[in-house]
Structure formats: structure tokens, C-alpha cells
Amino acid sequence: MSEALFSAPPLAQVEIQERTGESCIANNGFCPDWIVDNFDRYVGPFFEHIYLTVVSVGIGFAIAFALALAAHRVRWTFGPISGVTQVLYTVPSLAAFFLLQPITGRGNLTAIVALVAYTLFIFFANISAGLQNVPGDVKDAGQGMGLTDRQLLWKVELPLALPEILAGLRIATTTTIGLATLAFFAGGDGLGRVLAEQPFFKSNVVIAGGLTVLLAAAFDLLILGVQRLAMPWRRAAIA
């Protein structure tokens, strides 16, 4: 059955097959030699994947941040904004990648638009929760001392909302890295494309998938590190 699936292997694979003998690849095993020889193939998509993730998360954060501030200032807008972002969040990702194509065409743009739409709800919900969780007495004291609304927001409310905001960033980043593997359906780049080229070749799946997981873990650790650095008072409280 596996032989039938590999009836038309790409050129690179043929070359390796010749050098390492057919046993590993023919058996669809996990072939370290093949991986070493073909690692170049993953470098480009790996960085494309990072690009997709960073751009989508960045734009998503910027939009959701503005929306959350608007909802914070004008309370009644919270419901509608929350509703719309939630609906976007529930659209099946695959469907979104196809549905957008008539409008944005095939390519990274479509992928990014869909990925951004996904992050909106996560960011909006978390930033809003963070702002809402700022203790009332702290805000009262800030106002009572003469901080303007803007000063209160930037000097008190947002710093105190940071734990929730960064938690949202972690979820959104991890989710986006995962969803970005589907970007190829919209004609986008990334590790998903390599994955899709040989979806049943174990070595390929392990490396492309593994890199995705690695990327997610790396971003998660990075944000965790930022969280530590940005919130010394939290460490102080535990100590």
C-alpha cells in the first residue's frame, strides 16, 4: 500500500534512495540519513512559518488591542465586539482558507487574513479580562491622586493586565503556529506546504511536524521569559 502511495516521489527523494539504499525509504521508516541530506528543504518553510505567525499575531494583537481599549472606554461596545470576534473564531479554519480566496486570491495574504481573524477573539478576550481584573481600589487610588484616564490606562491598568495579555499572547501564538500549517490550502507558505507534499512519508512528517512543535515551544518559552522580566512584582509576591 505504501509503495502505491509513493509511486511518484519527488526528485530529491529519488536521489537519496539511490545513495542510502532503498530499505529505509521504501519501508517508509524514519530515516536519519535522509533527514540530514534534506534538511535544507525545511529551512525556507521554517522561516516562512515564523513570518506567517509573527505577522498574523502582530496584526491580530494590534487590532484586538484597539478593540479592547475601545470596549474598555465605551462599555456598551464590549458585547458586539466580543460577539463578532467570537463568530470569526468559530468559523472552521479550513473553510476560512477557502472562503477567502475569491476575495484575496491564493497566497500568504489570504492565510494571514484568516489567521488574524482567529487571534482576534483570543486577544480581545484576554486583554479585556486583564483590564477588568485590575482591582477597583487601585484604580480609585490612581484617579484620586490625579492620574488622567490615559495615564491610568498606560501606567496602571495595562501593566496590571499584563499577565492576562501575555497569557493571551501565548495561546494565540501557539494556536497560530498550529493553524499556519494549513495555510497551504490558501496557497500560503510555511511548514504545512512541505508537510502536504509528502503527507505519508514518515521522515517528512516527523521533521515538518517536529519543527512546528519546536517553534511553538520556542515561542512559548520566549513569551514566558518576557513575562518574567516584565513583571518583577509577581515574582516578589511569591518570594
Partner 1 sequence: MNSALDHGQARNQAAADLEFREVTKRYPGQQDAAIERLSLTVNAGEICVLVGPSGCGKTTAMRLVNRMIEPTDGDILIDGASVKGRTRADLRRHIGYAIQQIGLFPHLTVGDNIATVPSLLGWDKQRIASRVEELLELVSLDPQDTRDRYPAQLSGGQRQRVGVARALAADPPLLLMDEPFGAIDPINRERLQNEFLRLQGQIRKTIVFVTHDIDEAIKVGDRIAVLKKGGKLAQYATPAELLTFPADKFVEDFVGADRALKRLALQRVRDIDLWKAPEVRVGEASSDVRRKLADADLQIPLLVDDRRRPLGWLSERALAGERVERDLRSTAEPVVELDDILRDALADLLSHATQYAPVTDEKGAVAGILSLEVIGRFLHEPPTDSPTGADLLDDDPRSRADLGE
Return residues touching partner 1 (CB under 8 A).
135, 137-148, 151, 156, 159-160, 162, 231-233, 236-237, 239
- Name residue, grid cell 501593566: 159
Least distance in angstroms from the C-beta of 157 to partner 1: 10
Count of CA atoms in the C-beta half-sphere (13 A) of 10: 10
Q: How many Å separate Cα 234 from the centre of its chain?
A: 26
Is the CB of 229 or the CB of 239 nearer to partner 1?
239
**What minimum distance in Å lies between the beta carbon of 140 and partner 1?**
6
Give the length of the chain: 239
Min dist CB 146 to partner 1, Å, is 4
Q: Are 20 and 192 contacting, i.e. CB atoms less than 8 angstroms apart?
A: no
Q: Which is nearer to partner 1, 218 or 235 (CB)?
A: 235
| Shortest CB 230 distance to partner 1, Å | 10
In this complex, which beta carbon is closest to partner 1, that of residue 1 or of residue 239? 239
Beta carbon of residue 124, minimum distance to partner 1 (angstroms, whole number):
23
Which CB atom, from 73 or from 213, has the smaller least distance to partner 1? 73
Taking the C-alpha atoms of 113, 118, 123 and 128 in order, what is their torsion angle to the nearest 10 degrees? 110
Judged by CB, which is closer to partner 1: 158, or 179?
158
| Ramachandran assignment for 47, one of left (phi > 0), alpha (psi -120 to 50 degrees), beta (any other) | alpha
C-alpha cell at 68: 479592547
CA-to-CA separations, 40 to 25, 46, 59, 207, in angstroms, rounded: 18, 10, 30, 12
